[in-house]
Structures are given as structure tokens and as C-alpha cells.
Amino acid sequence: MIKLDGLRLDYRNDRQIVPVIEQIDLEIASGESIVLLGPSGCGKTSLLYMICGLASPTAGQVLLDSDPVVGPRRDVAIILQDLGLLPWKTVWKNASLALDLGGRPTTLESQAPPQEIARELQKRKKSVWLGYLLLVLTGLWAAGQRFYLERPFSAAIYLFALALWTINAGFYGSEIQKALALRPQAPWDELLWGDWRRWGLLPTLVPLTIGLLARWFYDLFTMPRQIAQANELIEQQILQVKPLLDKLGLQGLYDRYPLHLSGGERQRVALARALSIHPKALLMDEPLASLDAFTRERIQELLLQLWQERKFTQIIVTHDLQEAVFLGERIIILTDKPAKIKAIIANTCVGSSRTSPEFYDKVREVRQALEAVKGGARP
């Protein structure tokens, strides 16, 4: 259960205090679907932020199963308006991001047959082995490992060090060859640092050589453990993320990037990422606003199906009245800023036909309640 107890939020603007939310008290039962409606800028998004722990209330508190919410929680997922997909990650990597960051696993049943899951698992494990073997043989293990783990900055630093070492070693070797050409019988100490140019290269070349060799040997001897960890993560992804992607109709799109997806497909990837760790509550901030009407209705039906199957608490911010009636067991009408609860409308038309008279009557009731907010302010 989620309980909002005397919730108030103020923002500071220079020396002025701007009240955003004022005295909201609300109890949301576990597994309930709630929709928040209100004028633009009234504080609906700020309310979501406080529920998931991304913002702290000025007064009051948010309780989740009687525990105060004092920061972000892994059992509360949020989907923002821009979806927050990382453009440099594939569909698979975006959907499994929560697992990569240490999220707890779920227990889902895949629609795919066991042999398909086994084939996908073997394919991805094999790619890790071949990739690691190539990296070790070419001496680029550390950089490749970091790229595989989606740490491009760390990998770039390692590659920069390797390139710097290569340049220094090339110049140093060239200077030694010149010295040998001039004095073939010169002592070794004179060859190594007898010239100011060679002496100037040594302070860079020696530390880089020691550091790169130490990194290479460390990675080489820890290879079995690192491969086991990578395979364990891949197995978890296969068992937890693949069923969601398949259920959301994203088969065959695992290795595509967000740029190559339609709006509806990106929305479904965001849903898969949010649900991959089986959250107790799913918060959505106008998740379907940018979709066309037909795609929006399909995603609404998908949201309804997932909510009915998985029994998570659902809180949706929207400006679409039909969407509110289709998805919300209760519809909370908020006033203009500072936001307060103006009305709570019970809704028995969740998931019903959008063309039924009862559905239209409920939409009309919600519209009238919204028009009563501040003398007819529109959402």
C-alpha cells in the first residue's frame, strides 16, 4: 500500500517560496490503478517524483508498505515522458539495464519454447567466450572488457594509454636504432638513456609499460571468474528480460538501437526495462502522449493486461480523459498550483469498450470535474 500523509512541496525561487503541492492525503491499495488528472503545471510530475523518492517533500511523508520513502527504491519503477532510453544501448541492453545495475530477479514464464531460450543463451555465452579470447590474444582485454560492460569512458582511457605507449615505444626504438647505427659497440646504458631524447621518453614509457603489463596479467588470470560473472548476468537476462520482450512483441528487435525503433516500440522497451525487476509500483508520467491514437490504444490495452497479470500498483499521469477512464480504477482530480485533491472519481469502466454508453458517461463525468477546477481550466 502507498500512503501519502499530509504531503506538501515548496520550491525556492531566489528568495521566494513557490508552493507546488499543498496537503495531499491519499491511500492507494496494493495492486490498484490510479490516474492523476489536473491542469498543466499543477505538480502531477512532482508528486510522482516524491512517491518514487526522487524528490523530498517539504512536509508530510510517503509510506510504501508502512516504510517511509526517503530515496529511490528498486521496487518502485518510473517511466518518464521522454522514456529515458539510452541511445548507445540496444533494445536488449536497455531492457536489462536494471539487472546490469544489480536489480533483483523476477520469476517470469517465457512464451518461447525451452529450446529457443537455450539457443539464445548459448549464442550469447559463445559470443562472450570468443570476444574474451580475442581480447586476450590481441592484448586488448582491458579495453574490450570495459566496452562489453558498457563503460566506454574507462575503455577510452585504457586505449589512450595503450596508444601513448605505442607512440613512445616507437620513438624510443627509433632513437636506439639511430644510436646503434652511429656507434654499434656503444655500452647498453648509453644506448638506453645516453641521449636527452631517449632520457625524455623514459619517464613516460616505463610507468606505462608497468601499468599495461600489470593490467594485462591481472585480466588474464581473472578470466575464468570474469567469464562466469558475465555468463551469470547473461543467463539472468535471458530468463528475466526475454520473456518480457517477447510478450511485448519485440522479438527480432533485440539488437536494434532506439533510433531505429518506432514510437510504440520505444515505449514497449521502456515498459520492459521498468518491469524487468518486478516492481511493487509502476509510475508513468504521460507515457503515451507522443503516440498516434491507434498505437496509444494498443499500448493502453497492453498496460491493462500487464497490470491485471502482475498485480503491481499503477499510478499514471495523463491529460487524455479516455485513457484515464480506460486505465484508472480511481481518477484523482487535482486543482491548479498549489495542487490539492479536488475530487476522487470511482471508475467501474476500467478496460471496458471505449464505444459503450457507460464509458462515454464516465468520460463526461471526468470532464465536468476537470472543468470545475478553477472555473473551467482545461488539462
Query: How many angstroms separate the CA atoms of 127 and 175, rounded?
Result: 42
Higher per-residue confidence, 35 vs 222 = 35
Query: How many angstroms separate the CA atoms of 200 and 204, rounded?
Result: 8
- Between the alpha carbon of residue 56 and those of residues 12, 49, 53, 72, 313, the distances in Å are 13, 8, 7, 10, 21
- pLDDT score of 191: 62
Residue 72, helix vs strand vs coil: coil
- pLDDT score of 344: 92
**Is the model's pLDDT at 228 over the cut of 90?**
no
**Is the model's pLDDT at 30 over the cut of 70?**
yes
Residue 264, burial from CB neighbour count under 10 angstroms (0-12, 13-18, 19+): buried
Q: What is the pLDDT of residues 73-98, one digit of tens each?
A: 888 888 888 888 888 888 988 888 87
Domains of the chain: 1-75+280-379 (3.40.50.300)
Higher per-residue confidence, 261 vs 119 = 261
Q: What percent of the chain has pLDDT over 90?
A: 18
Residue 208, burial from CB neighbour count under 10 angstroms (0-12, 13-18, 19+): middle
Contact yes or no for 287/79 (Cβ under 8 A): yes
Residue 33, helix vs strand vs coil: strand
Average pLDDT over residues 176-201: 67
- Per residue, what are the HEC states of 220-231? HHCHHHHHHHHH
- pLDDT score of 108: 44
Distant-in-sequence, close-in-space partners of 26: CB < 8 Å, separation ≥ 6: 3, 4, 332, 341
Average pLDDT, the chain: 80
For the ranges 47-56, 110-119, 173-182, 218-227, the lowest mean pLDDT is seen at: 110-119
Average pLDDT over residues 238-258: 84
Contact yes or no for 214/198 (Cβ under 8 A): no
- pLDDT score of 374: 59
Query: How many angstroms separate the CA atoms of 37 and 239, rounded?
Result: 37
Average pLDDT over residues 14-42: 88
- pLDDT score of 315: 94
**Is the model's pLDDT at 202 over the cut of 80?**
no
**Is the model's pLDDT at 147 over the cut of 90?**
no
- pLDDT score of 36: 93
Query: How many angstroms separate the CA atoms of 253 and 120, rounded?
Result: 13
Q: What is the pLDDT of residues 255-289, one digit of tens each?
A: 899 999 888 888 889 888 888 878 889 999 987 87
Q: C-alpha angle 49/52/56, rounded to 5°?
A: 60
Give the strand pairing for 313-317 and 33-37: parallel
**Is the model's pLDDT at 165 over the cut of 60?**
yes
- pLDDT score of 109: 45
Average pLDDT over residues 151-168: 73
Distant-in-sequence, close-in-space partners of 297: CB < 8 Å, separation ≥ 6: 354
Average pLDDT over residues 184-213: 71
Q: At 281, list the grid cell.
A: 509500483
Average pLDDT over residues 115-130: 65
- pLDDT score of 42: 85
Does this model's pTM top 0.85? My answer is no
- pLDDT score of 231: 72
| Cα-based torsion angle of the residue sequence 318, 323, 324, 327 in order, rounded to the nearest 10 degrees | -120
